[in-house]
Structure 1
Amino acid sequence: MGEEQKPINSCNCTSSSTTTTTAEEDDLHRQIIDEIESLCTLSHSIRVFSVKWQVIRKKLEELSSMLVAAETRRPNHHRRPLDDVIVTIFNTIKECRNLASSCINVSYSGKLLMQSDLDKVISKLDSALKNVSAIFSSSGVVTGDLALVVLKPSIGSSREDMRFYVKDLLTRVKIGDTQMKIQALISLNEVIFEDEKYVKIVVEIGDFVILLSNCLDSVECRIQEEASVAIAMISGFESYKGVLLVSGVIGPLIRVVENGSLKAKKFAITSLEKLTENGDNAWALSAHGGVTALLNLCSKDEIDAELIGSCCWVLRNLVGVEEIKRFMIEENAISTCIKLIKGRDEVAQIGAAEFLQSMVSGDETVRQLVVKEGGARALVRIIDPKSNFSFKSRETALRVIENLCFSSVDHVNLLINYGFMDNLLYFLRKGDASIQELAFKSAFRLCGTSEDARKSMGDGGFMVEFVKFLEAKSYEIREMAAEALSIMVLVHKNRKKFASDEHNIGLILQLLDPKQGNSGNFKFLLSILLSISSCNHARRKIANSGYVKNIENLANSGVSDAKKIVRKLSTNRFKSMLNGIWHS
């Protein structure tokens, strides 16, 4: 059964000539607004003719918003015409209520007849909307003098009060003059930033999202800006992104990127970044010319660096679609990024580097293009100690260099020619703790790229620095240093250089003592000793070390590499020496 019909005080609406007091007219006005709200709620439970009822509900909501705006403080010369219209509205609402009851109870005589009746009601609602709009605004808009001032609900107010306030703002944006629209949008942004419950209410009132989308195309700069702010806020909620897309927001956002004010552009790009985070909406943005618009913005010298950085992050979200990535490359995205990386603006530089990294990831062809166009050289320049770039820029540059070049021997050789190893070595020796650790980790990965790289690193003095990190506070760093050295000494020249320093051998033997807390590093430390023990002078130094007992203890514990080292030390040449050491 449907909701019981609420009676409306029809005695006050029988004719336009009925004499009523102002208070009675206002009570009736409020009563009809409440009835429309009730009918909108009831319409959600109707399961037949759902499309037509959706249309009816939207028109009822719009009519309610207009009546709310005109509820009080309307000029006296507008009271009688508006009251005359309310009589017609009352009859239409009553007819809607009866049709709703028939649809809920499925008590209508025929589908065709019901469809016809619903169409007639829709037509009457259209007429009512036009009449109300015409009466309380001779110019077609509501001005500040005519508007009802609805106070913002206090913290903890009911959802009904919050919804009432949002619907009032909707009306002001929809039919207000320019200043009223601006103020309503400002008020909207205030509440949605204060309490996300308002965001949900805005989204539930579907017309509001569509209206905000339309405001993005406004010729009034402030309206466009405030609408951009609101949409950026809504786009931050994963569950509401679909509503924005269905409301057609992508096209207007891109037009703002192309022609909007700086503030509007910033918030429009923020919205696009959030809407493309999962990549599912990449095609929607591309179809509206978004890729070209963003790349064009990145190529303009006078544009704000923060804006360019945000553009790069949106573009980065799109590269997962192969066709779009190829289009970006055709549109000179690589050269645009390299130009930004060569610039001095940190935000733009970092955004471009990260965008470039996304393009080269897993794509050898693109890697070749980037290196060919000077991308590697531009990135190496950022980590030049003589330059004045920030830690964040250098951190990003190192990460992109590794992704771009470390998988190719030829590219690693180019890095060496560009002075990359000299830059790393400088920061290993003289950098502060944060940049030193970055340089160390990059050097660790570099030594695993090729034998040529290991030879160059050995000649450059990297092994001395790796030895220092064997005693770092961080277990992770100590283990990485041991592993790096175990890789470096695989090169004969490096092995001889390492073994020539008694301090190196003594330190490693000392660290093999479990009391040193390096048990996790034993594998790599023993690997180092096993490699250098192929040299006679290294075996002699190991045997003469005061810590050689540590190897024997590990061998007795069944550690394979320790046993191998002991066997190498136990040749006839060293046997008597070891016996003297171990049995003294």
Structure 2
Amino acid sequence: MHPTALPPSSQQPPSPLQTLDHIVQLLSHLLPLSLSVKSFTGRWQILRTKLASLKSSISEISGSPHWSENPLLPTLFPNLLSTLQRIQSLCEQCTDPSYNVGKLLMQSDLDMATGWLSKQIQDIDLLLRSGVLRQSNAIVLSQPGPGSSKEDLGFFIRDLFTRLQIGGVEFKKKAMESLLQLLEEDEKAVTFVAKEGNVGYLIHLLELNAHPLLREQAVTAVSVLAAANDQSRKCVFEEGGLGPLLRIIESGSMGLKEQAVMAVESITTDPDNAWAISAYGGVSILIEVCRSGSLAAQSHAVGAIKNVATVEDIRIALGEEGAVPVLVQLLVSGTAAAREKAANCIAILASSGEYFRALILQEKGLQRLLQLLHDSSSSSNSDTLEHVLRAILALSTSDSTARILSASTPFIIQIAELIKHGNILLQQISASLLANLSISDGNKRAIAGCIGSLLKLMELSKPDGFQEMAAQALVSLLTVRSNRKDLVRDEKCVSRLVQMLDPKNDLVSKKFPVSVIYSIMAGGSQGCRKRLVAAGAYPHLQKLAEMEITGAKKALQRLSGNRLKSIFSRTLEGITSKVTNPPAN
């Protein structure tokens, strides 16, 4: 018995309920009919299995209280009905002994029908799993407010992704617009999207065959997810987002490139993801964006390169692909953000070995860094200053670079100012530079104003090695006599130094203030000695010498040298007086 025919197309379109009834009738007719097919039995066995699965899903739909309110079914059911009618026609042909059509054509028709049916079953199963058929359509359409429950938010997200995957283009566009609005307006929703939504489908929409508008919106959504938090970023990466994003950067429009490279920068902030850049050929793609992309794209591309430069294998690729000249150029031509990231990347590369230091110097990287240091000092950009100083510090291990820096009075004055007024990181790097350079006495006199700051920095126990750098820089400046006198004339400096010598003060390693005392007394100044002794340095040094602190005995000898000589002179004068003026009998 054949199912009842639908009304002609000229009449009112059938309702979803009418279409559903016809689908149920067709399935009830097709399942037993297909058992009588004797040709192409393997293919019909696959079709019967799918028809049985579809019947179960249709039964579940009809049992859902709000299925008729869902706007997706009016588009799903007609297509499904058309497929079933095609299968019915093929079934009748295969059971008709008089039907004589080419075998290959029938095989092709059966395979096509199986493919259509599989896709429609997949859509229906997705709709059922989402749970949207179990709630009223009015709830589905309303976007949850900021105070909504997790259940409402999760349900809304599942509904959005159901529409994205099943609906026509208009449904997909509206669903994507709602998704972007949700991501922009509600930060907590991002985590729910990563958890409840199908991020893999968003990644699928990045492919070239996707609808252009949907592709553009998908890039924006993926970019937001990648930048939001660790969980959503991990989700984008694990769903395979990096490869499609890099392809968009390589061949997409300018707007898409900027969104995609922003997402790649975010993804590569996780070291566990950075290695994958080379697997997709991403190094050369990012370098090209730095070379010729828009200013916004350049900034994100150099940020991604900075992120992956920590991976040794990728560093090698960066050198081979010509990243260094591009990075050095960005120190001059890039936006403020791009210059900061380029300086950071150059600092990483310069710290990794002589190969990169030579490349950077060859491209006049030192001169560009010094110029950026000057410009950043004027704008008080502490992050850029930090990266520039780290890069210069790494380059200063080269003898030629150290000579250039040591002879540059403007540079020496700049780092002295940073020692006095910079944040703790800038002070640390500047003190390290000052300690490692061989500067002239004239320049040492020119920066005498930072002596008090260096002494103060010696009191800081963190970060590790800071006290040593500050002490080395200070000792270097104290080779100039006028600097030694300036220090001991400052009562606060002398008091601070003596407090650091106190054995009870366990915040400072004693060898550092001891080395400063030794340097102050290098010239044997009687005035320096008097001030230090008067401030209480002598007994502390005596105790430190007894404790066998490195350098304490030598510093004590220098501090007490003239004092012993004075005592010896007074004793000698007394003896002479007794000899020349014997007492009367």
TM-score bin, normalised by smaller chain: 0.5 to 0.7
Residue 138 (structure 1) aligns with: none
Residue 294 (structure 2) aligns with: 303
Residue 462 (structure 1) aligns with: 447
Residues 163 and 201, structure 1, Cα contact 8 Å, conserved in 2: no
**1:503 is matched by which residue type in structure 2?**
V
Aligned mate of 2:430, from 443, 446, 452: 443
Residues 234 and 240, structure 1, Cα contact 8 Å, conserved in 2: yes
TM-score scaled by structure 2?
Answer: 0.65
| Residue 182 (str. 1) matches residue 173 (str. 2) | yes
Mapping 1:159-170, distance limit 5 Å:
159=151, 162-163=154-155, 166-170=158-162
TM-score scaled by structure 1?
Answer: 0.66
Deviation at 1:153, TM superposition (A): 4.9
| Residue 273 (str. 1) matches residue 265 (str. 2) | yes
Residues 459 and 500, structure 2, Cα contact 8 Å, conserved in 1: no
**Aligned length, in residue pairs:** 488
Aligned mate of 2:565, from 566, 569, 573: 573
**1:183 is matched by which residue type in structure 2?**
K
Residue 517 (structure 2) aligns with: 529
Q: Structure 1 217/362 Cα, relative in aligned 2: closer, same or farther at 3 Å?
A: same
Identity %: 17
| Residue 411 (str. 1) matches residue 401 (str. 2) | yes
Q: Alpha carbon RMSD of aligned pairs, Å?
A: 5.3
Deviation at 1:417, TM superposition (A): 4.3
Residues 309 and 347, structure 1, Cα contact 8 Å, conserved in 2: yes
Aligned mate of 1:357, from 343, 347, 351: 347
Residue 290 (structure 1) aligns with: 282
Deviation at 1:366, TM superposition (A): 0.7
| Residue 400 (str. 1) matches residue 391 (str. 2) | yes
Distance 1:75 1:351 in 2: 47
Distance 2:6 2:376 in 1: 89
Deviation at 1:408, TM superposition (A): 3.0
Deviation at 1:446, TM superposition (A): 1.7
Q: Structure 1 443/464 Cα, relative in aligned 2: closer, same or farther at 3 Å?
A: same
Residue 378 (structure 1) aligns with: 368
Aligned mate of 2:538, from 543, 551, 559: 551
Distance 1:480 1:75 in 2: 66
Residue 315 (structure 1) aligns with: 305
Mapping 1:13-412, distance limit 5 Å:
15-16=3-4, 25=17, 71-72=68-69, 126-127=116-117, 129=119, 150-155=140-145, 156-157=148-149, 159=151, 162-163=154-155, 166-172=158-164, 174-177=166-169, 179-193=170-184, 194=186, 196=188, 200=192, 206=198, 209-217=200-208, 221-235=212-226, 236=228, 238-239=230-231, 244-245=236-237, 247-282=239-274, 284-300=276-292, 303-304=294-295, 306-343=296-333, 345-384=335-374, 388-391=378-381, 392-405=383-396, 407-412=397-402
Deviation at 1:338, TM superposition (A): 0.7
**1:209 is matched by which residue type in structure 2?**
G
Helix, strand or coil for the counterpart of 1:217?
A: coil
Deviation at 1:400, TM superposition (A): 2.0
Distance 2:449 2:252 in 1: 57
| Residue 511 (str. 1) matches residue 496 (str. 2) | yes
Structure 2 unpaired stretches of 5+: 8-13, 25-45, 89-109, 124-136, 572-585
Name the stretch that deviates more: 240-249 or 208-217.
240-249
Q: Structure 1 127/148 Cα, relative in aligned 2: closer, same or farther at 3 Å?
A: farther
Helix, strand or coil for the counterpart of 1:277?
A: coil
Name the stretch that deviates more: 560-569 or 511-520.
511-520
Name the stretch that deviates more: 195-204 or 265-274.
195-204
**2:433 is matched by which residue type in structure 1?**
L
Q: Structure 1 371/550 Cα, relative in aligned 2: closer, same or farther at 3 Å?
A: same
**1:324 is matched by which residue type in structure 2?**
I
Deviation at 1:285, TM superposition (A): 3.0
Distance 1:535 1:269 in 2: 61
Distance 1:386 1:234 in 2: 33
Structure 1 unpaired stretches of 5+: 1-12, 33-51, 92-119, 134-146, 580-584
Deviation at 1:340, TM superposition (A): 0.6
